[in-house]
Structure 1
Amino acid sequence: MPHTPHAGALPEQLTTTRPIGVIADTHGLLREEAIVLLKGCDPILHLGDVGDFSLLERLAAMARLYTVRGNIDTQSWCEQLPWRQDLIVNGWHLHLVHDKADFDPAAPCDAMLHGHSHKALNEWRDTPDGRPRLWFNPGGAGKRRFRLPITLGRLWAEETQLRRAILHLPLID
């Protein structure tokens, strides 16, 4: 099941040699193509609008899973999911939130990962103190919204750089 932080807890520190899988906005649909693209990732981060608890069980069977709650996650099982979560992966501070509107730009992190819009985003922006911060949205991997592509993301938290990619799932619907 997804890891849930304790109130006031320091960010969990992880090490990995694998890519980090990043998925959002599944809305109850975990596509087989997404499973294929997430194989070999550890951890997997789900950035909200999960829609179905069994989806989290499937992802947790693949790798360590960290999940934040999205605006459609209103069922009783969602109460265990935090609205925000911080992780440190190989020294990189990742801040997870569903809606970027809920992100405090003064928050200390190297990357702000979010979902909600279903629109992939992968860019470095300067923080108020002039340091670069990655803004990363893997896009929507579940039910297709409007005419947007179906996507998810991968991050590689290396010693000197945070590499990232948006991966497009084939459209068969």
Structure 2
Amino acid sequence: MTKIGLLSDTHGYWDEKYLKYFESCDEIWHAGDIGSMEVVQKLAAFRTLRAVYGNIDGQDIRTLYPQTNRFIVDGAEVLMKHIGGYPGNYDPSIRGSILVRPPKLFISGHSHILKVKYDKTLDMLHINPGAAGLFGFHKVRTMVRFVIDNGTFKDLEVIELAG
């Protein structure tokens, strides 16, 4: 059983609440638009960090993290890409990978819109954790926690951050 803390679109903004809410997590995943090495360093010093770079990330972050990250955690294959779309409207840059070899979980960011949706056609869960930073049009900052247990997902929690 692996507990995951998932966030996206911090845009360089650091909030100590990230650590507070991810205290119980085994890993932290960042779905891009990290925005600063400070955010990378603080998250990586706290827990294992898996990430992808987003469209606003500079070369420093792009050398550390890929544009697309496919990995397996606790029996579940995960695919993460910052600009990825969602079920019924996958971004053309990732659509082929998803259709040819669907993961059990597809994670994207970019839209700043929290979305958890199941793709029945591909038997795949999609999560966009919304935006945890201050920059953007979103009214509420959000993150997500969930558990992967032997290839299944459970105990998903949406965390709303004030401010």
Q: Does TM, scored on the shorter chain, surpass 0.5?
A: yes
- Count, aligned residues: 152
Partner of 1:111: 105
Contact 1:30 1:141 in 2 (8 A): no
Contact 1:70 1:98 in 2 (8 A): yes
Counterpart CA distance in 2 for 1:160 and 1:33 is: 28
Contact 1:124 1:133 in 2 (8 A): yes
Q: SS at 1:31's partner residue?
A: coil
Counterpart CA distance in 1 for 2:53 and 2:67 is: 5
Counterpart CA distance in 1 for 2:106 and 2:35 is: 22
**CA-CA distance at 1:147 after TM superposition:** 4.0
Q: SS at 2:46's partner residue?
A: coil
Q: Is 1:122–2:116 an aligned residue pair?
A: yes
1:1-173 correspondence to structure 2 within 5 Å: 17-100=1-84, 101=91, 102-104=93-95, 105-106=98-99, 107-127=101-121, 131-159=122-150, 161-163=152-154, 164-171=156-163
Contact 1:121 1:136 in 2 (8 A): yes
CA 1:89–1:58: 2 relative to 1, 3 Å = same
Counterpart CA distance in 2 for 1:147 and 1:77 is: 24
Structure 1 stretches of at least 4 aligned residues deviating more than 4 Å after TM superposition: none
Counterpart CA distance in 1 for 2:34 and 2:153 is: 26
Contact 1:25 1:142 in 2 (8 A): yes
**CA-CA distance at 1:75 after TM superposition:** 3.4
Counterpart CA distance in 1 for 2:43 and 2:60 is: 20
Contact 1:48 1:69 in 2 (8 A): yes
C-alpha root-mean-square deviation of aligned residues, in Å?
1.6
- Cα deviation, 1:103-136, whole Å, max 9, x if unaligned, reads 2231320010010011001111123xxx421110
**CA-CA distance at 1:45 after TM superposition:** 0.6
**CA-CA distance at 1:57 after TM superposition:** 0.8
TM-score (norm. length: structure 2)? 0.85
**CA-CA distance at 1:149 after TM superposition:** 1.0
Contact 2:28 2:47 in 1 (8 A): yes
| Structure with more of its chain in strand, by fraction | 2
- Structure 2 stretches of 5 or more lacking a match? 85-90
TM-score (norm. length: structure 1)? 0.81
Counterpart CA distance in 1 for 2:70 and 2:159 is: 23
- Cα deviation, 1:28-47, whole Å, max 9, x if unaligned, reads 01212222111121211111
Counterpart CA distance in 2 for 1:86 and 1:76 is: 21
Counterpart CA distance in 2 for 1:126 and 1:151 is: 25
